[in-house]
Amino acid sequence: MYDKDEIILCFSHPDTYDIIFNYIGIPKKDYEYKQIRNMHVNQDGIIFKVYTTPSETQPIIRVGDIEAKKIQNIYVYCVHVTRTK
């Protein structure tokens, strides 16, 4: 769909890169990192924002003899943008 030279990274959070790029099927490559304000006119961008909030409920999860407690909620928002001017 796009050539490698047309794709830039506008975030530097490695966990986001790994999770989201795998989920939407974008191949992992050495993309150039740039600020959003440096996009070209008519260039598409995908923006990811990660929000972390404390868990209000903290349920205990048990698998066999292993126990874990939920301590955070992690939300990832994804927005597709096109620079128009």
Nearest partner of 78 among 38, 59, 51, judged by Cα: 51
Report pLDDT digits (tens) over 29-69.
Answer: 766 777 778 888 888 877 777 788 988 888 888 999 999 98
pTM higher than 0.75, yes or no?
no
- Number of folded domains in the chain? 1
Residues spanned by the domain of 37: 4-82
Mean pLDDT, to the nearest integer, of 66-85? 85
Phi, psi (degrees; rounded to nearest 5) at 10:
-115, 20
Average pLDDT along the chain: 78
Q: Are 58 and 65 a contacting pair, CB within 8 Å?
A: no
Handedness of CA 63, 68, 72, 77 (dihedral sign): negative
The β-bridge partners of 76 are 50
CA distance 51 to 74: 6
